[in-house]
Copies of this chain bind each other. A is one copy, B any other.
Amino acid sequence: MPSPVDAAPSYVWAAAIPVAGSRIALDEQESHYLTKVCRARAGEGVTLTDGRGALARAIVIETGEPVTLEMEDVQQLARERTATWLVGAPERGRADWMVEKLAELGVDVFQPIDTERSRWAPSEVRLERWARLARAALRQSRRCYELSVCPPRDLAEGVADAAKAAKRYVADLAGTPSGRLISHAAGRTVGLVGPAEGFSTGERHRLTSAGFVAISLADGRLRTETAAIGLAAWWSGGA
């Protein structure tokens, strides 16, 4: 039974969503979530996404592990605006919740970047952890596009990739206040935030040459993760 506080149906993920009328079994994690956290029962409605724009209404056929669902109707939602965030390493321990918040705010790609002054510490388990946080945020925010998390790459590669984007911004205390810039442009926006140690002068010059617009998110210095989230909130407010 839906709680009186949140009458919206449970929201779950599946790798692929079949056509209306057909059935699927949820994976272990989603089955657990639906059975143990949402306490869903046979006959109840559920919303399902593949994190790539497909959105379905479905009915719980069988609970347990796995949960079986039958599709009622399936639609594919278009994405007119996307966001790729290139972010230097924040201070230790601050990346996880940044990833969670970027996912909640609807950023599409999180690309850690290594710069002259700072490189992301090597980690094999971090990408898996971030992917789990992104999945949880997908359900939490009831989105149908999931944040992709990438292994670190060099700033120069990220900047080269950004050349094809519709808009390019770099967080900078000395830039134009975000409240005076248009946030609802269509197409792909690339947001760039330097590491805790900042960009070098040479990097700043190359960013200007590459067409990155300096955007100021507050009238005080922001930590890397705060600037990344503030920039995402600004972009997200243009939805």
- Residues of chain A at the chain B interface (Cβ within 8 Å): 5-6, 97, 101, 104-106, 117, 140-143, 177-180, 182-184, 197-198, 216-223, 226, 229-230, 233-234, 236-239
Residues from chain B with a CB closer than 8 A to the CB of A216 are 237, 239
A233 touches B229 (CB 8 A): yes
9 residue pairs of the A-B complex, CB under 8 angstroms, read A5-B198, A6-B197, A105-B226, A140-B221, A142-B220, A179-B234, A179-B238, A229-B230, A234-B234
Residues from chain B with a CB closer than 8 A to the CB of A229 are 101, 229-230, 233
Oligomer: number of copies:
2
Residues from chain B with a CB closer than 8 A to the CB of A239 are 177, 179, 216, 218-219
A237 touches B218 (CB 8 A): yes
- Extra inter-chain contacts (15) besides given A140-B223, A230-B233, A233-B233, CB under 8 Å: A97-B97, A104-B218, A104-B222, A104-B223, A141-B218, A141-B220, A143-B220, A177-B237, A177-B238, A179-B234, A179-B237, A179-B239, A217-B237, A219-B236, A230-B236
